[in-house]
Structure 1
Amino acid sequence: MAFLGKTKRAVQQFPSPEELYLSGTLPRTTDAVDSLWLHQGDVIRAYAENHVDTPDLALELPTGTGKTLPGLLVGEWVRRKAEGPVIYATPTKQLARQVAATAEREGIAAALLIGSAKYWDPADEASVEGGEAIGITTYSAVFNSSPKLPEPRLLIFDDAHAGEQFVGNEYGISIRRHDDEDAYLEVLEGLKPFLSGLLIQRLEGDPDPGAHHQVRLILPAVDQTALTKLDAVLAGLPKPHSYKLAMIRPGLAACCVYLSYGGIQIRPMIPPTYENRVFARAKQRIYLSATLGSGGELERAFGRREIVRMPLPTKTPPRSGRRLFVFPDLVKDGDAVELTKQIVGLTDKALVLSQETIANTEATAKALAGNDVPVMGRDDLERNGLESFAKASSGVLGLANRYDGLDLPGKACRIVVLDGRPDAVGLQERFLSERAEANAALAERLRTRIVQGAGRCTRGPNDYAVVVVLGSDIMKYFSRPENLKALEPELQAEVEFGWQNSRGTDPDEIIENVGVFLEHGADWRKQGEPMVAEFRQDAVKVEAPGTDALGKAAALEVEAWQLAFGGDWIGASEKMQEAVPHVGPEATRGYRGLLLYIAGVWLHLGAQDETQRSRARQLVREAALAANRGTWLKEMRELPGAEEVPLVLEDIVAVNQVVARLRGQIKPKRINTALTEMQESLDQDEAIRYERGLTTLGSFLGAEASKPKGQGRCDSAWVWGTAMWMTIEAKSEEHNGGLLPLKDVRQANTQLDQLAADRGMDHPPAGSPAIIVSDKLSVDPQHAQAANPNVYLTSTRVVGEIASDVAVVWADLLTTAIGIASEHAQKQHVRSVMTENGCLPSQVIDRLAQNRIRPGH
């Protein structure tokens, strides 16, 4: 036998990744791309010249303009320097396989390390550890309690704009009741010390609309005994929850608990990635992102104090194909779902993206598919890969919460359906959006998901696809001028063109226009393309309100959460207090209130003397003042020594009115009959009955409620003395989607002033809202400016939820409050019951006034 001597593994090196590519050294296959796009070369050249040693660097490459190849070339260039392993991480296994295929095609040495580490090929592991190949893996292989990857010289994250969804959720336990009710009820048992008996009763019983919708925040550290019990309950959970607990258990006291009827999520707001050796010890981390927003989204998602952004060297981003947006809910007298089905039927091939559950998303895909058109879902994708759908002659693929990592270029798919607004992936997002009024903190995330979803089928400059925007909530998103202006100009133009050509258009004409676009011949080039170009001339990108403020606060927030996770409550509170002044603008008020509250709780936990405890209570009071409608604060555990937070005047009026009614000649049977009739009236759409139901609802909320007489008056007026008024205009009979008419907005503008004239007053109480109830949840942008700042739009669903909660309140009061002899004790009890069910006037206004019509307020 012949023994081999030592051989030197020499690898040729180049001054930059671009020169490596151009050298012809890489053993590329015949399927490799012909050349780098101009912007791709610009990006990797700028990296080599200026950022080789930048610890955290974000590279911008918009959707459809090719992130993977530049990322792999940078990785290969660094690997050849032999300074340590290179890891390339993707959000999903399916995307990791796509990247591995690209690496093979382009002649880049790579090894796929996905799934359970115990099944990895030892030879592949060795090649990555020894720097002979780039390790291609998933985020979850990096961010887990015991990562098996080597500590890298370079760690590249593809689709980093999805970081919150794929990093933050690794640092927490999420339990959906529908999937694992036993685990849900076990954890709920551990949370009982933090909850009132009323709330426990609602969460343990059958779902009711109010309890099902609402997300509560609990900071378990405020009760050490209860925290210990919660820890024990969590320790008893089976896999996979036990793996997730290992990620957060050392800092469980710093975690937030988000609780709803449908699920429980336990996690810190910002993940403690500093504890992860693979991530934290990498010499450099590169984040490949479709967008480099300046609101601190990347820093919060990855738990890094500062990530340097390297935007595209050119001012104008590269074009990533042409999209024709269609808004079926705007079409004249149309059935939005039926029209969408007809559009899908033009090719019998479509991708459906939704935030709904997997089952609901796949059901939507089935509803949109024609006869004999195959329907595919997540399981098909994981089993057969995306290629099976891409190569199929027909099919509708429905995917939940998958706005990234799907490349369907050219004829693979020409239609994508965005079903609903992707604004609440997880309970933390729902709390920030619906309860803390901190939408500004989510704006960048939401915008990126929509942009990513819209770009799944346009993967190059000459590609084209139809984007169907289905659902009133996502249509409402596009109707807000500030949302539209935050998009890149090219995308703004496409959305504006689609909006104008959908609004009031006959369904048959929509189908004809889509057909012209899909042919993409002379008719489109002569008629459609020049019109899109006209819209493009006027489009200018403007950052969303509050973006700059959030960006300045991000570094301090990251530090604060690191300190809290390590148990340094005083240091954490100080850092959070430093962040607060940065989130000062009106757009970030809700987020400022949340940060102040958390800073107060942390200071209380670490307080060594009464001065610090007093300051902690002061921060909580400041939180209540900062939050515009911070009714969630009423539900939080009071800090020891804190005075009871006084009710606002309208809440006092309501509690007194309810108590007076309970202490009068009360007839429970009559009240129960009235409650039943109220709910039945608000559960149907006939106008006169609905108006009567609204007035009954107002009276049970402690208001003087009536239907004002006269032409053009509101359908119901709720008056809480001179403290707060509300007028409600109900459009319950309008159900066909579309836009709220301008006349409805103008009518609502005058109703509070008319009510003031009735009462001989110059004007209504400050802050009084005018509410329009309609299932048309969008207003044409050109009409929205006509609304007064105090006019809001809400849905019949929200009104129904409040009515359900009011019924729960009165069912409780009729059994518990009548027997209380002391009027003071009775008031305390009524206050407690109304607060727990979100039925104080301030809470009801909060729930009805989520959607201000006039932009910029």
Structure 2
Amino acid sequence: MPFFIPDEDESKYNDTIDLFNKLGKLERLSHEQGESLKEYELNRDNKTDFAIEMPAGHGKTLVGGLISEYNRINNNWRVIYACATRQLANQTHQLLDLYGISSVLLTGKGENFSQIDLGKYQRSEAICVTTYGHIFNINPKFNDSNLIIFDDAHATEYAINDFWSVDINRHEYSDIFEALVSTLGDSLSPNVYDKLIHGTYDPMTDGVDIVSFPQWYKKSDSIRSLLDSRTDDTKLYYPWSRIRNSLHSCQIFVNHSNIVIKPIIPPNKVHQAFVNPQERIYMSATIGKSGELERMFGVQGIHYINKFSNHSNKVSGRRLIMFPEDHFEGEELERVVKETAIKSNRALILTPSKKSMRKVKETKEKLLPEFTLFENSDIEDDLTKFTDEDNAILALTGRYEGIDLKGDECKLEIIHDLPVAISIEEKFLQDRLNATELLNSKLSTRIIQGLGRCTRSKNDSSVVLFTGKYVGDYLYKDEFINLLPADVHAEMNLGFNQIDFIKDIESWHTSIEEFNNETDWKKVENYLEKQESKLMEEKQMDSSNENAVQLYNSTNHEIEFIYNLWNEDFSKAHISANETLTKLGRNETLKGYRAWWNYLIACVSTLQRDEDKTRKYLTKSLNASDNKVWLDKRDINFSDEIQDEIYSEDLELQIERISNYLKSFGDREKKFDKDWAKIIDGLRSKEAQFYEPALKSLGTILGFYAEKPPNEEGVPDGVWNINNIWISLEAKTNIEDEDTYIPLDDIRQVFVHKKWVKEEYNLENEEKVTLVMVCPKYKIKDTSQHAAEGIYLVSTEDIIELATNLEGILRSGLNELKYGVKSNLRKLLISSLYEKHLTPEHILDNFTRKELAQLVD
């Protein structure tokens, strides 16, 4: 017979567990898998969104697959199983096949999809395994599904962020970037505008700024017109088309190389491919407790399913965690990193940003030019390109989930720069508002996920090195490390304990060899197991986290806010924001986040054209902020009740930068001691190769934008800038006899620096530039006087005295952070800087006391 007649009694299943039993591919479900499936079925009548937490190696793909297959067969649903990469999608497709679950793999360009496989999905004959990009797409291929499974759900934030963000990179779209800066014009605060125009954004200290909504929104038509005309035929076209009619729902963020326009929470429920399904399920090895998933996906009411102990081990295997930058510095640090990589053969490096990745590439080329470098795109389809290669580095940006390196495939992992903030608004909240409590849970989740990349089973082991930014800000603080599961906490503590024990390179390598070879490791393993048990008991006894509870309770109102705002219901948006503030309460540790939500109410008030209310909430925002620089003061009426005295922009910027510098050490006083000793040694040296970098470091720590230009003729040895203060420094320190005259050629060399600084930094005129010679000599000949006009002399001892006074302030600040009240740091710095005459204005005064032309002998 040429036709197939289907069986009218085709199998249906009582539930997901019945399906598992009849598939017969595996012997049994684990207790946690079975209980997770039962809870899902019990609650699905009144819930649409489920988050299922299952630690790595505990079979979350099987759970997701059973839910998918049950609904496909019993309900005739079209099911999407979405993964982070093509490689993971392929891996998931193979696993589902192993379990006896029908699936098709549809990745790559939609135009190249197999029409046969696409038809199977459309007829509900097979689950479609694909990537997030086919959901979060301006023209999604799958906008008719009934169920979406988001595998490794936290990894979706990158696709979502890209979908809703117009990210104008200064290098890739220089014409659009410059035109937008011009269009924004005076809506940029003077501080931000100057940094953009003069190129003095310091990526290490300046972070992310926000363009004040009350200032820029009045130019929204001009912004829309500009981007309409400039984004055609660029990658910006599609995200711009998503938000162009909803600029009232967006904020504009700026840093040294990007201008980003985006809503603060993704309004995914206006995107049909996301909102159409009857159910969405978010699978993850670690689900936070502060509402991260809700904010990430823009949904409310997610039902959480977790059948594992809250404090049970979330990462399989065993890690030796170490902190090389606390053991070594300079050439020793470079050597130990190089040798560790060579001995390991392959290394995985995780970074949070393109900027961090550029640093990794530079270091790799310097230290390991013979190693092959693989990046995200190289392993999109297949990890074996990396795992089959000797002397290889896999360096990934923003990939803390979805990489499985098991057994001996990779035994070294380097986490460079902690992933405190991934999206630009997270970076803003971190850099400007110190909203660390909001980011703590996200960071702990990313660290837990990242640590499991090279230990996929209980028998796997890996060396993990933490390097770069924010290590001291978070990992060395009890309030953060207590958020980590007991096994990771114990491994971290072991790493901390080695800092004062391992003091030479030989001991470093011996420790790693003993770990990898398991020689003399049993004693350490016993210690770690005891520590884990002890820590788990402590965490179970102290399971409350007031900050996490308050942040979770505010989530629904935050999400209501973004949809009310998107729909231009400004009154309801104001109510939602007020409810958010109520839920956040008066908790001192959440004051930065309260400042943010007061600012957002001011944005709504701007849309309502209520200037009095706008000023009122901007004032509230300023009062709640420790950092006073981020908010454009032009929008604030200073006759209103300002709780803290507001100082000059120069001083406020200096306070912010010094505060961030101090916070970067956490409790690592010995790291500060090492770093500071290196600066003082440099400032006491006569040799330019040591003195000039130390002078730059001193300027940076003082809160200036500080640069050491290249060693070229006619170029100063240093430039310090803070707003309208420009100091050009020429160091003449390699002096044998201090009692001789300063040579005329040296004086003439300084004089030409004004023009160089003006042209290099695009200044309107060179009169803003103060010329300073740093030199232990103290006199000139009368024949040199004509060339010395407008140049000032600062002795090397004056610089040492300045550094000594600064050291006392820094140590007091570190003590306040460690033993005192963190919110008092600002007041301490202000009073100390005034007392020691180290404000920017004082420093300029001190540097201009001695006019070189008046030192004729």
TM-score range, shorter chain: 0.7 to 0.9
Q: 1:563 Cα shift?
A: 0.7
What is the 5 A alignment of 1:201-212? 202-209=195-202
Give the C-alpha shift of residue 482 in structure 1. 1.0
User: Relative to 1, partners in 2 of residues 1:535 and 1:60: Cα closer, same or farther, differing over 3 Å?
Assistant: same
The DSSP-based 3-state class of the residue aligned with 2:694 is coil
On the 8 A contact 1:349/1:415 being kept in 2, the answer is yes
Which residue number in structure 1 is paired with residue 569 of structure 2? Answer: 568
Residue type at the aligned position of 1:321? G
Within 1, Cα distance between the matches of 2:339 and 2:328?
15
Deviation at 1:346, TM superposition (A): 2.6
Match for residue 250 of structure 1? 245
What is the match of residue 311 of structure 1? Answer: 306
Q: Does 1:142 align with 2:135?
A: yes
Q: Residues 95, 654 of structure 1: CA spacing in aligned structure 2 closer, same or farther, 3 A cutoff?
A: closer
Change beyond 3 A, Cα 1:533–1:195: same
Alignment deviations for residues 219-244 of structure 1 (CA, whole Å, 9 cap, x no partner): 55755551011111222313311111
Contact preservation (8 Å) 1:171, 1:248: yes
Could you tell me whether the CA contact under 8 Å between 1:85 and 1:131 is conserved in 2? yes
Change in 2 beyond 3 A, CA 1:806/1:116: farther
Does the 8 Å CA contact 1:681/1:689 hold for their aligned counterparts? no
- 1:632 equivalent in alignment to 2:630: yes
**C-alpha separation between the residues in 2 aligned to 1:429 and 1:266?**
14
- What aligned pairs does 1:730-769 form with structure 2 within 5 A after superposition? 748-749=811-812
SS in 2 for 1:516: helix
Number of the residue aligned with 1:591: 593
In the alignment, structure 1 residue 388 sits paired with structure 2 residue 385: yes
Where does the alignment leave 5 or more consecutive residues of structure 2 unmatched? 652-687, 705-719, 727-793, 849-857
The CA deviation at 1:407 is 0.6
Which of 91-100 and 483-492 deviates more?
Answer: 91-100
1:651 correspondence with 2:647 = yes
Name the counterpart of 1:437: 434
Offset of residue 16 of structure 1 = 3.4
- The equivalent position to 1:465 in structure 2, one of 462, 473, 476, is 462
Distance 1:482 1:90, change over 3 A: same
Residues 694 and 652 of structure 1, relative CA distance in 2, 3 Å threshold: closer
Partner of 1:821: none
Q: Quick one: structure 1 residues 485 and 127, their matched pair in 2 at CA, closer, same or farther if it must change by over 3 Å?
A: same
Aligned match of 1:216 in 199, 204, 209? 209
Distance 2:483 2:285 in 1: 14
One-letter code of the match for 2:451? Answer: A
- Flag the 1:786–1:333 CA change in 2: closer, same or farther, 3 A: farther
Change (3 A) 1:492 1:228: same
CA contact (8 A) 1:13 1:81 kept: yes
1:596-649 Cα shifts (integer Å, max 9, x gaps): 111122033225xxxx6534432222222222334312x26627x996897964
2:115 paired residue number: 122
Q: How many angstroms apart in 2 are the aligned matches of 1:653 and 1:397?
A: 43
User: Kindly tell me: are residues 691 and 441 of structure 1, through their superposed partners in 2, closer, same or farther at Cα, counting changes over 3 Å?
Assistant: closer
Report the CA distance between 1:461 and its aligned residue.
2.2
Of stretches 502-511 and 75-84 in structure 1, the one that deviates more from structure 2 is: 502-511
- SS of structure 1 residue aligned to 2:348: strand
Mapped to 2, the partners of 1:233 and 1:151 lie a distance apart of 35
CA distance 1:6–1:643, change in 2 (3 Å): farther
Residue in 2 that maps onto 1:832: none
Q: Which residue of 2 aligns with 1:4?
A: 3
Deviation of residue 386 (structure 1)?
1.2
Offset, 1:196:
5.2
Cα distance in 2, alignment partners of residues 692 and 85 from structure 1: 58
Tell me if 1:619 matches 2:617: yes
Q: Is the partner of 1:467 in helix, strand or coil?
A: strand
1:197 and 1:691 mapped to 2: Cα distance? Answer: 21
Aligned residues between the structures = 706
The question of whether the paired residues in 2 share the 8 Å contact of 1:364 and 1:398 is answered with: no
Q: Counterpart of 1:80 in 2: which secondary structure? A: helix
CA contact (8 A) 2:134 2:140 kept: yes
Worse overlay, 641-650 or 548-557:
641-650
Question: How far has the Cα of 1:650 moved from its partner?
Answer: 6.2
Q: CA deviation at 1:687?
A: 12
Contact 2:268 2:275 in 1 (8 A): yes
**Superposition map of 1:88-103 within 5 A:** 88-103=81-96
Give 1:694 shift: 9.2
TM-score (norm 1): 0.74
1:447-505 alpha-carbon deviations (Å, 9 max, x no partner): 21111111101112222222111236325421111111000112111111222134431
Residue 281 (structure 2) aligns with: 286
Distance 1:789 1:417 in 2: 33
- Matched residue type, 2:531: F
Question: 1:154 — aligned with what?
Answer: 147
| CA 316–785 in structure 1, closer or farther in 2 if over 3 Å, else same | same
- Can you give the 5+ residue segments of structure 1 that lack an aligned partner in the other structure? 27-32, 656-678, 718-726, 732-747, 750-769, 774-778, 815-857
Shift in CA distance, 395/13, structure 1 to aligned 2, threshold 3 Å:
farther
Q: Could you tell me whether the CA contact under 8 Å between 2:214 and 2:606 is conserved in 1?
A: no
Question: Does the CA contact (< 8 Å) of 2:253 and 2:425 recur in 1?
Answer: yes
> Comparing 174-183 with 577-586, which one deviates more in the overlay?
174-183
Q: How many angstroms apart in 2 are the aligned matches of 1:197 and 1:581?
A: 34
Over 3 Å counting, the alpha-carbon distance change for 1:510 and 1:603 in structure 2 is same
Separation in 2, partners of 1:233, 1:520: 63
Q: Secondary structure at the match of 1:412?
A: coil
CA pair 163-618 structure 1, distance change in 2 beyond 3 A:
same
Q: What's the counterpart of residue 159 of structure 2? A: 166
CA contact (8 A) 2:184 2:219 kept: yes
Query: Counterpart of 2:325 in 1: which secondary structure?
Result: helix
Counterpart check, 1:299 vs 2:286: no
Contact 1:771 1:792 in 2 (8 A): no
Q: CA deviation at 1:508?
A: 1.9
Secondary structure of residue in 1 paired with 2:168? strand
Q: Which amino acid aligns with 1:518?
A: N
Deviation at 1:562, TM superposition (A): 0.6
Residue type of the partner of 2:558? Answer: E
Contact preservation (8 Å) 1:324, 1:467: yes
Q: Is the 8 A contact 1:60 1:290 kept in 2?
A: yes
> 1-side partners of 2:691 and 2:589: how far apart?
33
CA deviation after TM superposition for structure 1 residue 573, in Å: 1.1
Cα deviation for residue 64 of structure 1 reads: 4.5
Query: 1:308 offset after TM fit, Å?
Result: 1.4
Aligned to 1:229: 222
* Contact 1:173 1:241 (C-alpha < 8 Å) held by counterparts: yes
Measured against aligned partners, the alpha-carbon deviations of 1:267-312 in whole angstroms (never above 9, x if no partner) come to: 0100111111221121111111222222111111100122111112
Tell me, yes or no, if the aligned pair for 1:144 and 1:247 is still in contact at 8 Å: no
Query: Paired residue for 2:254, among 253, 259, 262?
Result: 259
CA 157–788 in structure 1, closer or farther in 2 if over 3 Å, else same: closer
In 1, Cα distance between the equivalents of 2:725 and 2:645? 14
Which residue of the partner structure matches residue 13 of structure 2? 14
Cα distance in structure 2, aligned partners of 1:148 and 1:687: 53
- In 1, Cα distance between the equivalents of 2:329 and 2:644? 45
1:264: Cα distance to partner?
0.9
Following the alignment from structure 2 to structure 1, what is the Cα–Cα distance between the partners of residues 584 and 275?
Answer: 28
Q: Distance in 1 between matches of 2:92 and 2:8?
A: 26
Give the whole-Å Cα distance in 1 for the aligned partners of 2:73 and 2:382. Answer: 31
The one of 311, 320, 323 aligned to 2:319: 323
Q: Is the 8 A contact 1:348 1:394 kept in 2?
A: yes
- The structure 1 residue matched to 2:125, chosen from 121, 132, 136, is 132
Quick check: 1:401 aligned with 2:410?
no
Q: CA deviation at 1:187?
A: 2.8
Q: Hey, what does 1:184 align to over in structure 2? A: 177
> Which whole-Å deviations, capped at 9, do the CAs of 1:318-347 have from their partners, x for residues lacking one?
561111112212326783342233222333
Contact kept? 1:682, 1:694, Cα under 8 Å: no
Residues 1:602 and 2:604 aligned together: yes
* CA deviations over 1:149-188 (Å, ceiling 9, x no partner): 0422211111112343332331111122233323322332
How far does the alpha carbon of each residue in 1:409-437 deviate from its partner, in whole angstroms, 9 at most, with x for none?
11221221111211232321221111122
Contact 2:288 2:442 survives alignment (8 Å): no
Distance 1:292 1:355 in 2: 19
Instruction: Find the aligned partners of 2:814 and 2:492 in 1 and give their Cα distance.
Output: 29
